[in-house]
Amino acid sequence: MSRTSIALIAGLLGFLLYVAGVLVVADHVRGLHWALELAFFAVAGVAWVWPAKRLIVWAVR
């Protein structure tokens, strides 16, 4: 199996797990102060980029 195939499977699975985790935590964040909600969703919306970048760099090598 090539690195690209492994990265594709790992990336999709990891992203689905990440989204599920964010949804679970978001249930607890909703209803808090609007500034905390804003901070959480801003960080959660961008945090997946760094692991995805490392995975892509690894797959391209």
pLDDT in tens, 1-56: 899 999 999 999 999 999 999 999 999 999 999 999 999 999 999 999 999 999 99
Can you tell me which residue has the tokens 């492994």?
6
CA dihedral sign, ordered 29, 30, 35, 38: positive
Q: Where are the domains of the chain?
A: 3-60
Question: Where on the phi/psi map is residue 31: left (φ > 0), alpha (ψ -120 to 50), or beta?
Answer: left
Q: Grade residue 61 by pLDDT with cuts at 50, 70 and 90.
A: confident
User: 14-31 in b/e burial notation, b at 16+ Cβ within 10 A?
Assistant: eeeeeeeebeeeeeeeee
Give the global pTM: 0.85
